[in-house]
Amino acid sequence: MTSKIPKLFIIFILLLLIEGCSTVEKDPSTAEEAFKIAQDYEKADRYQIAIQRYTDVKNKFPYSSLATEAELAIADVHFKSEDYSDAQISYQNFRELHPKHAKSDYVVFRTGLSFYQQLPETIDRDLTLANDAIYSFNELLKKFPDSPYKAEADEYRKKAYSMLTEKELYIADFYFKEKIFDSALLRYESAFNKFNGFGYDPRILKGAVESAHELKNTEKAKQYTEILLSKFADSPEAQEVRSKNEILPKADQEQQPQRGGSSE
């Protein structure tokens, strides 16, 4: 048993040497080799050391094209390690320093995605960063219409809008349940004006109709009823409003629109 201990120790030392030889053999005195060393640490998921090594490339070889690549790599490593706040800042700094970089669309997309990944899992918390994410995704869609990240950016943009819409509806529904109908109506109207077209319109309009009805605001009840019954006639919300004759203004009770598809 004792004779095996030195052998195991020797094997352990050899494994350490083998693991480290890839970086030891490289000469960090050149930008190319220093960048490769940083890449090796990144591939090994040793993110903090990788960031340090990329920073070395940026600081020691500021006039090399790899210095710029190292800046972007630092942002990518932050993102890969799920440090989305630092990733967002790094991407934004990169964009400011290199506004005409060939990968600008990628940087804008990753900026938006970094904002998005910082959002809470539930809508009852602060969703301010959703607006920042949407801003970046909109910038990508507007300035880089041929970007390969366009479809993914639009998908995340819609998800961010959905979260904001659900938050607005959450608050509106709360006010309605508490019978604070004026505040409820304001929230439903805000949701319809800011977030229409994301699949929540029938629910928003139904809430607006019911809130206006409770406030005896015939004008707004009629306005939102007409939109709901004309554009979303087959929705469950439209059918529910149609079944509650006391909600419908008299003119709508006498001549309800025929059920059919959306007029859009």
Task: Render pLDDT for 83-110 as a digit per residue (tens, 0 to 9).
Answer: 999 999 999 999 999 999 999 999 999 9
Lowest-confidence segment of 105-109, 167-171, 237-241, 244-248 by average pLDDT: 244-248
CB atoms within 10 A of CB 9: 10
CB-CB contact of 103 with 72 (8 Å) = yes
User: Which sign does the torsion angle of CA 194, 200, 203, 206 carry?
Assistant: positive
For the chain, give the mean pLDDT. 88
Distance CA 6, CA 14 (A): 12
Show me where the domains of the chain are located.
Answer: 179-264
Instruction: For residue 245, give the amino acid letter.
Output: N
Tell me the range of 10-14, 28-32, 147-151 where mean pLDDT is highest: 147-151
Distance CA 174, CA 169 (A): 8
Q: How confident is the model at residue 202 (pLDDT cuts 50, 70, 90)?
A: very high
Closest CA to 164 of 134, 130, 113: 130
Give the predicted TM-score (pTM) of the model: 0.80
CB-CB contact of 154 with 184 (8 Å) = no
